[in-house]
Amino acid sequence: MKIALFTKIDLNENNNHIFSIIESFIKNKIEFEIDVDSYDAISNLNNKFISDNTVKNFKKLNSNFDYVISVGGDGTILKSAKEIGELLIPIVGLNKGRLGFLANSKVEIIDDILNKLKKKEFNISERSIIKAEFEGLNKFALNEISVSRKNTTSLITIETKIDHQYLNTYWADGLIVSTPTGSTGYSLSCGGPIIMPDAKNFVLTPIAPHNLNARPLVISDRKKIEISINGRENECFISVDSKIYSISIDSSVIISKASHYLNMVEFKDDNYLNTLREKLMWGKDKRTEQ
């Protein structure tokens, strides 16, 4: 079993959890490599792993890896998903962030996780990937693609078509097109619904719409979405997960489901429903807590 470890090292914070994970790999005789950025940071923090060649690094993933383990928050998962691309390597998320819906396993149980990976005691959740085509580029996202205003307080006009049929013109700060995975992210904060990861849907969620009857809309992920933007400025933003691009205000953006997907590892005690209940505190009454 060979594992690729993705993380984010902050030199100003305590990174003992990373060293603990590395030690667990060594103890369990797991072959592993760490992403090159984290490797460089670790070399400044704990030279014992570097000097004896215990830790190796990789610059690019390949099919020789059996699993990817991402340590951090949802942002680290998104970065890892981008690196996985079409390789379909299953990914495990260990949470060291805040309100993480993707990285939902605890770092402290790494030994148990490695044991379950060896025994294949887990389920795979196939997560849809969304694709945006604009200005000659093809970009992919796990959570969402959004368009928004730039350098102005004025609204932008977003004409939206679904499979070439006119849907609506949004006068808003922007528009989010979310996958089921991303439904608990930016879309949720703008009033969008939560969608189960295995649902075959996209969500269109306007950002602060001027026309208040413009509500979030759930559509089939087999549909192709065409967006035309207009406004007072010459440029606007398009966000592909955590990556932001500046594009011409009169650009056309085509959004559709990608041909590949992301394999998320789910353990019995860390499944999606448990994560929802824990993160959103469903079924908990603060009045009865001591």
Which of the residues are catalytic? 74
Cα angle 102, 105, 107 (rounded to 5 degrees) comes to 125
Distance (Å) of CA 181 to CA 12, 202, 246: 31, 10, 25
Q: Do residues 192 and 209 touch, judged by C-beta distance below 8 A? A: no
Task: Cite the DSSP H helix spans in the chain.
Answer: 16-27, 36-45, 47-51, 74-84, 110-119, 186-189, 272-280
The Cα 72–Cα 61 span in angstroms is 19
Query: In this structure, how many other beta carbons lie within 10 angstroms of the beta carbon of residue 184?
Result: 26
Q: How is the beta sheet containing 201-207 ordered, strand by strand?
A: 217-220, 201-207, 174-178, 144-148, 235-240, 243-248
Query: Which residue, among 217, 245, 213, 247, has the nearest Cα to 231 in the 3D structure?
Result: 247
Kindly give the pairing relationship between strand 2-7 and strand 57-58: unpaired
The DSSP call for residue 20 is: H
Q: Do residues 193 and 276 touch, judged by C-beta distance below 8 A? A: no
